[in-house]
Structure 1
Amino acid sequence: MIARKPYILLLALSIFLIACQDLDKTEKPDNLIPEEKMVDVLTELSLVHAAKNYNKFKLEQTGIQPDKFVFEKYGIDSLQFEQSSNYYSDQYVIYERIYDSVRGRIKILKSKYDALREVEIKREDSLKRLQKDSLQMMDSIMSIPRLRDSVQRSRLKLKVDNKRKEDKRDSLIAPVSMEEDRN
């Protein structure tokens, strides 16, 4: 039994060495997508996939196929993208540089959209505040009888003026003055 241990160890080592053979590196394709364009494509694909994960139903309603849309936008096809992706994945330094650029662009876009979102929220809050203030002002005006009557008269006058304007516009016959009617 002691003599079998070296053979078992030798057998395990030879199986391990055979299993760890060199893999062929992917050859550089003829239609390799340049690094900068690859960064653009991967950034767009990341955004499209994020949108798809956020609201898949809404994206499907548009009828747009996200990957196909991005490939058409950059003038590439899925095979070219796959070959380029495989090549770059074998080139670790380049691949890491590409994905660092994609991450950086997404962070920049996120900060821009977050800033826009904050501005939009502030705008909505100020509009709500203005609306609330105007309602409170109207309530305070309506609580004073003299001002309430004035507001109601203004509203009534506005309605009458608008009605007169509509009557003039809707008439097919030009208005005739009383003097013209007598002749």
Structure 2
Amino acid sequence: MSDARPTRFAAPVWLGVLLIATGAAGLLGAFALSVDKIELLSNPQAALGCDLNPFLSCSGAMESEQGSAFGFPNPFLGLMAFPAPIIMGALALGRVALPRWVWTVFSIGVLGGLVFVLWLAQQSIFFLGFVCPWCFLVWMAMYAMAFPLWTWGFGSGALPAGAGFRRFAAPLQSWGWVLSLALAVIVVVTIMVALPGIPRYIFSGF
């Protein structure tokens, strides 16, 4: 008896829009940081526009050991990675059905990106003691992208999972944003508590 389950999956339009928007936001952050990194290399004394105060600093993040986690500036990794969700989103808007392995590989990449930005957030908040504004945009883009992708993928069968888990995930396909929002709130609250200078700076009207 043949397996009637589909092997190719077209993402819904809302997910395509989300992937394009979050991919573009992440690419914007990575591009801005790359430009600033090149500026610092050519002029180490340059004053960057995103160096707002001791608690909000891009140059501090880029000059730290964590800013080159793989031996080269982290923003260059973003320039290579963020076109992927934009392409996947465009294919979703075109209603292109992709094999399960494509969605699986893409989702694994998103998982790696999420783990990486969570590590960077932890290092930034608890070890460096400041937050890079452009980095924060990249973090939020990854949070917003990840959970809606996974809830749709598991619920629709685009990602491999057992039948019981698929039945559980199916009604939650369009509710991944709740998990993304919860993670974003947790990170923001952690920043506010661990780095009280940031809310004081914000509420003082700069």
TM range (shorter): under 0.3
Q: RCO (CA 8 Å, sep 6+): is it higher in 1 or 2? A: 2
When normalised by structure 1's length, the TM-score is 0.24
